[in-house]
Structure 1
Amino acid sequence: MLKARYFFKGQYKALKIATIGAVTAAFSSIMVQSAMGANFLPPEMITASGTTLMIAATGEVKATPDLATITAMTSAEGTTAANATADNAKKMTDLLANIRNAGISNDDIETRNINISPRYRYEQNKTPQRIGYQAQSSIQIRIHDLSRVGSILDKMVQANVEDLEGPNFSLSNSAKAEDEARLQAITTARSRADLYARSVGLRVKRIMMISEGQLVRPMPLRPMLMAAKSRTADSTPETPVISGQQTVTITVNVAFELG
C-alpha cells in the first residue's frame, strides 16, 4: 500500500491508495443484482479502504394461510326508497342469522357498504323515467377455522345472497414468515459474498450496509366459487374449499468490504 503525505502547519493528512493485483483491479467495485432489481447507495457514498461488493439476495418462505374472508351482498328493489330499504334489511337480517348460527361472532362480521340508488327506464328520444329504487348492502366475514369455510359458504347461499366474493385466503400474522425470509436472504447474501471474495483471492472483512429492498406479501388466494344463485338450501355435497400455500418474499441489499 502506498502512502502520500501532505504537510500543512506541522500537521499532515494521510491519503491511502488501495492497490490490489492486476487480476483483481477490475473488481474494485462489484455490483450484483437480482432479477427483481435493487437500489444501492452509489459506491462513492460508501467509505471503504478495500474492495466494495454489493449484493441483492432474496428469501422466500412458504406459509399455510390461517384466515379466510368472504364478502356477501344482498339487494332489493322497490317503488320507494323506504320499501327497497326494508326488503333489503330483511334479507341482510336473514343472512346474518345464518352466519351467526354457523358460529361466526360479531367480532368477525363487518358491514362494508350500504347503498340506495334510483332506478330509471331509458327509452330512445325520451327523458329517463324513474321507476323505483334499489337498496344494497354488503358484509365481510372472517373465518379462522378454515375447515369450516365450505359449510359457512353454503349457509350464506341458503340465505339467498345476491353476490358472493371469496373466500380470500391470507395470513393473519405474516411477521414470523417475513422474519424467516429475511434470515434466508441475509444467509444467501453472505454465502454469495464469500464466493465472490474467494474467486478473486480476497475475503469478506465486514458488512458495510444492509437495507431491505422489496417485500412481497402474498396476494389473497381466490379459489373459483360457484354462482350463488345456482345453489339451493338442500344442495349437496358441501362446497369443497382448499387454501393451498402462500409465499412471502423479501429482498435485502447488502454492501460488503473485501480485503
Structure 2
Amino acid sequence: MKVIPSVVALLSLATLSTSVLANTPDFPHLVTTGYGEVVAKPDMAQFTTRVVETTMTAEQSKQAVDKVVSDFLTALKAQGVEGESITSSNLYISPQYHYPKNGKPELVGYRASRTINVTVNDLDKLNQYLDTALNAGINQVDNIQLQVKDPGKYQDQARMAAIKDANNKADFLAEGFDKEIKGVWRIDYNMPSSQPVLMRAMAMDAKTESNTYQDSTIVIRDRVDVIYQLD
C-alpha cells in the first residue's frame, strides 16, 4: 500500500515533464513579451448609494427608507435617467441591541437599509445626480466607478500596441545576434481584465468630491507572449 503513492508521483512527474518538453520548440527560437497600454478619459460612471435609517420599530424604519428611495428614484427619472440605468436592492431590516456589562441584551430599535445603483451615461451630470441623492435623504455613497462607454475599442488599441511591441523586440534582438526571424511559432494570449477608476467611499456629501474625477484617466493594458522561429 505504501508503494502506490510513490508510483503515482513518478507517473505525474513523467507526464509533467513530457508536457513541458512538448511545448518547447526543438529549433532555434526567440521568446518575447509585448506590452501595450492606452490612456482613456472616462465618459461615463456608475455609483452606488445606500440609505440607512434606525428607528424604534421595524415598520417605521421601513417607511423611512422607502420614502427616501422613492423620492430619489422619482427625482432621477424627472431628470431623464432611464429605468434601465437604475437598480435597487431589497430592503434589509435588522434589530439593534444594547449589550450592558451585566444583564441581558436590550432591544433599542431597528435598522433598515437599501442600496441603489445608478449608471451615469453623461459624466457631466454626475455631480447633479449626487446632489439629487443628497437632497432626497440618501446618506451614504459606497463607491463611484469611472468608466468608458466603449472599452472594447481601447482594448483593441492596447492589444495592437502589445503586438507591435513584441515584434519590435523580436526584430531588435534577432538583429543584435545576427539572426533572422523565419516566422511566428506560437502566440499565447490571455484577455486582461479592465479596471475602472474607483473613487473613495464617502459619507453623503457630494461637494466633498466635487470635481476630483474630471482629470481622472483610465489605463487599459494588454499583453501578448510570442515565440518566433529563427533561421
The whole-number CA distance in structure 2 between the counterparts of 1:194 and 1:98 is 59
The answer for the alignment partner of 1:103 in structure 2 is 80
Question: Which AA in structure 1 matches 2:229?
Answer: E
The aligned length equals 211
The answer for the alignment partner of 1:53 in structure 2 is 30
**Could you tell me whether the CA contact under 8 Å between 2:142 and 2:202 is conserved in 1?**
no
For residue 218 of structure 2, the aligned residue among 234, 246, 255 is: 246
The whole-number CA distance in structure 1 between the counterparts of 2:177 and 2:61 is 77
Task: Mark the CA change 1:43 to 1:186 in structure 2 (over 3 Å): closer, same or farther.
Answer: farther
The whole-number CA distance in structure 1 between the counterparts of 2:202 and 2:111 is 25
Unaligned runs of 5+ in 2: 1-18
Unaligned runs of 5+ in 1: 1-40
Higher relative contact order (CA 8 A, sep 6+): 2
The answer for the alignment partner of 1:228 in structure 2 is 204
Q: Identify the structure with the greater helix proportion.
A: 2
Aligned positions of 1:36-51 closer than 5 A: 42=20, 45-48=23-26, 50-51=27-28
The whole-number CA distance in structure 1 between the counterparts of 2:106 and 2:128 is 43
Query: How far 1:168 sits from its partner (Å)?
Result: 1.5
Query: How far 1:218 sits from its partner (Å)?
Result: 2.6
Question: Which has the larger displacement, 99-108 or 184-193?
Answer: 99-108
Query: How far 1:109 sits from its partner (Å)?
Result: 0.4
The Cα offsets for residues 14-33 of structure 1, whole Å up to 9 and x where unpaired, read as xxxxxxxxxxxxxxxxxxxx
1:194 is paired with a residue whose SS is: helix
1:161 is paired with a residue whose SS is: coil
- TM-score of the superposed pair, with normalisation by structure 2: 0.82
The Cα offsets for residues 134-163 of structure 1, whole Å up to 9 and x where unpaired, read as 111110100000111111111111112121
The Cα offsets for residues 4-52 of structure 1, whole Å up to 9 and x where unpaired, read as xxxxxxxxxxxxxxxxxxxxxxxxxxxxxxxxxxxxx95652445x411
Where in structure 1 do 4 or more consecutive aligned residues deviate above 4 Å? 41-44
Query: How far 1:77 sits from its partner (Å)?
Result: 2.4
